[in-house]
Amino acid sequence: MTFARVLCLAWILGAASPIALAAEGDAQAQGNADAERPYKVVNGHVDRATFRGYLYYGDLCLRCHGPDGAGSSYAPSLVNSLKKLDKRQFEETVINGRKNVTTASENVMPAFGTNIDAVQHLEEIYAYLKARSDGVIGRGRPKRIGETDE
């Protein structure tokens, strides 16, 4: 994905997300059922996309949301969040961020709309977190399909 496209996506999402999202290339191909189960897990092993989601979660989100999406002293458990948020709400939060700064709290979820890695791997991060939230994979590094069990 080019940088221009990333910026463009971020802008579109910020401005008029529902329509823009539906028109977005990669996502378009997937039906509703796929959006609900965006991962493939066989005997506890995950597909490549879900695995990359795990990697990029570690890169971009772990330092606030804690290991394995389990939550931290700083930010909520995304394993819990994805029991309530749908895919569109998830993507909108990640792209646009959210500020919750009052006298009692200083919660800021950064906007990832201009982060190339985040935008490019958003679907994969969602797939990984959804699999965690649905309880089909546990904590720690998931094994890839084809990878040997030890």
Partner 1 sequence: MRSPVRVAVFSAALSLSAGLLAGTALANDQLIQMSKDPAQWVIPGGNYASQRYSPLKQINVDNVKNLHPVWTFSTGVLRGHEGGPLIVGDVMYVHTPFPNKVFALDLNNEGRILWVYEPKQDPNVIPVMCCDTVNRGVAYGDGKIILHQADTTVVALDAKTGKVVWSVKDDDPSKGATGTSAPLVVKNMVLVGVSGGEFGVRGHVTAYSLADGKQVWRAYSMGPDSDILFDPEKTTSMGKPVGKDSSLKTWQGDQWKIGGGDTWGWISYDPELNLVYYGSGNPSTWNPVQRPGDNKWSMTIFARDADTGVAKWVYQMTPWDQWDYDGVNEMILADVNVHGKPTKALVHFDRNGFAYVLDRTNGALLEAEKYDPAVNWATHVDMKTGRPQVVAQYAPGQQGEEHNTKGICPAALGSKDEQPASFSPDTGLFYVPTNHVCMDYEPFKVAYTAGQPYVGATLSMFPPKGEKNLGNFIAYDVNEGKIVWSDPEMFSVWSGALTTAGGVAFYGTLDGYLKAVDMKTGKELYKFKTPSGIIGNVTPFMHNGKEYIAVLSGVGGWAGIGMAAGLTEDTAGLGAVGAYKALNNYTQLGGVLTVFGLSD
Residues engaged in binding ligand HEC (CB under 6 A): 60-61, 63-65, 75-76, 78, 81, 85, 90, 93-94, 98, 100, 107-110, 112, 118, 125
DSSP state of 10: H
CB of 26 to ligand HEC, least distance (A): 17
Contacts of 141 (CB under 8 A, 6+ apart): 54
Partner from partner 1, ligand HEC, none binding residue 93, C-beta < 5-8 Å depending on class:
ligand HEC
To ligand HEC, the closest distance from the beta carbon of 61 in angstroms equals 3
Q: Kindly tell me which residue out of 27, 110, 134, 136 binds partner 1, with binding defined by CB under 8 A.
A: 110
Nearest-CA neighbor of 11 among 86, 87, 126, 96? 96
Instruction: Assess 96 for contact with partner 1 (CB under 8 A).
Output: no
CA pair distance 34, 44, nearest whole angstrom: 19
DSSP 38-59: ---EETTEE-HHHHHHHHHHHH
Q: How far apart, in whole angstroms, are the C-alpha atoms of residue 31 and residue 112? A: 25
Which residue in the block uniquely carries the two structure tokens 């990697």?
Answer: 55
- Rule CB under 8 A: which of 31-90 touch partner 1? 54-55, 57-60, 62-64, 66-68, 70-74, 77
User: Which residues bind to partner 1, rule: CB under 8 A?
Assistant: 54-55, 57-60, 62-64, 66-68, 70-74, 77, 97, 99, 101, 103-106, 108-110, 114-117, 138-141
